[in-house]
Each structure stands twice: as structure tokens, then as C-alpha cells.
Amino acid sequence: MAMAYAFEHRERVTALESPVAYLFTVGRSKSRSRRKPLPIVYAEPHDEPPEFEPSLAGAVARLPEQQRIAVFLVVGCGWSNAEVGRLAGKSESTVRTLVQRALVRLRRELHVEELS
């Protein structure tokens, strides 16, 4: 991309004091992804509050911050791993690992066995 720019604007580029540094900066800027912000989607309100384990809130609060955010958005809000990854600047597989580790930790702390 930087080489194409240099070819198209060769007079301007060759007149610069440091054309290599300029082209490096152009290439780096052009190669960065321009991600659009994700829309915020709120869950539909329920008529009755869902049933939950009373000690769940404390167990979730004790999770490391990244795990807490990932498990809340994926499990609690129904976001996909890819959506959370784009929001957090992490890969989909990293988010999947964060959620899996958080769920294992929560199950262990709450003495809950995973359903098959």
C-alpha cells in the first residue's frame, strides 16, 4: 500500500527529508483496521425476575476482571464471543477461553456440577 502511494505521489515523496520514514508511517496507518463500534443491544425486560443462586453475585465479583466481563456479556447478555472480542480488542478464541475458565471457577466455587 505504501509503495503504491509512493509511486502515485513520487514527486512529493522524493522531495521529503526522510521519505522512508514517511512511507513507513503511511503503510502503518493504512494497514490498521477501522472497526465500527458495536451497537448496544439490551435484553428484553422480563415480567418476573429470573431465579438465581444468592451467592452467585459474590462469586462473579471475585472473578478476575477480564473473566467477569467476558462471562457477563457472553452468558448474561447473550453476546457472541466474536462480538465481545471486537469490543475488548481480543480474539474470539481468547474470549472463549476467558468464559470457559470463568465458568469452571464459578462451578467450583458454587459446588455445581456441569450438566451433560
CB count, 10 Å around CB of 51?
5
pLDDT digits (tens, 9 = 90+) for 46-94: 788 777 788 998 999 999 999 999 999 999 889 999 999 998 999 999 9
Judged by phi (left if over 0) then psi (alpha if -120 to 50, else beta), residue 50 lies in: beta
Using a cut of 0.75, tell me whether the model's pTM lies above it: no
CB atoms within 10 A of CB 64: 12
Domains and CATH numbers, the chain: 2-31 (no CATH), 38-116 (1.10.10.10)
Surface-to-core class of residue 27, CB atoms within 10 Å of its CB (0-12 exposed, 13-18 middle, 19+ buried): middle
